Amino acid sequence: QVQVVESGGGLVHTGGSLTLSCAASGSAYSINDMGWYRQAPGKQRELVASISTAGGTNYADSVKGRFTVSRDNAKNTVGLQMSSLKPEDTAVYYCYARADYYDPTDSTFNRDAYHWGQGTQVTVSS
């Protein structure tokens, strides 16, 4: 199984910056795409940014030019640098890692399965 742990988050004023970090660990054959989703109160969870093992990135239109996702494949970590933050960026941010792993409890090989962090609150005050 794979464990995903986030750090960072907090309260920042409009226009400020914040960095989130995330580490994946455990017994996986490979860690594939990693990235971040967020969920604001009363809204659906949405993809913020993702990054492949080759470094290819994908961003939500609402964060392009303001957020930067990066990763360290050797350490299985992913980061999210957020700048020019707006009140509408307020949400719980969830890190994810997609991994290939063997589950001995049911003897299955799971390909590209999502593993989630516990979430970290980001609040941007106006």
List the one residue out of 65, 46, 68 whose CA is nearest residue 57. Answer: 68
List the one residue out of 67, 95, 114 whose CA is nearest residue 5. Answer: 95
| Structure tokens that stand for 88 in this block | 């509408």
Query: Which amino acid does the sequence have at 53?
Result: T
Asked if 15 and 126 touch (Cβ cutoff 8 Å), the reply is no
Average of per-residue pLDDT across 59-86: 97
Per-residue pLDDT of 21-68, as tens digits, reads 999 998 888 999 999 999 999 999 999 999 999 999 999 999 999 999
The pLDDT score that the predictor gives to residue 5 is 96
- The whole-angstrom distance between residue 46's C-alpha and the CA centroid of its chain comes to 11
Average of per-residue pLDDT across 60-83: 97
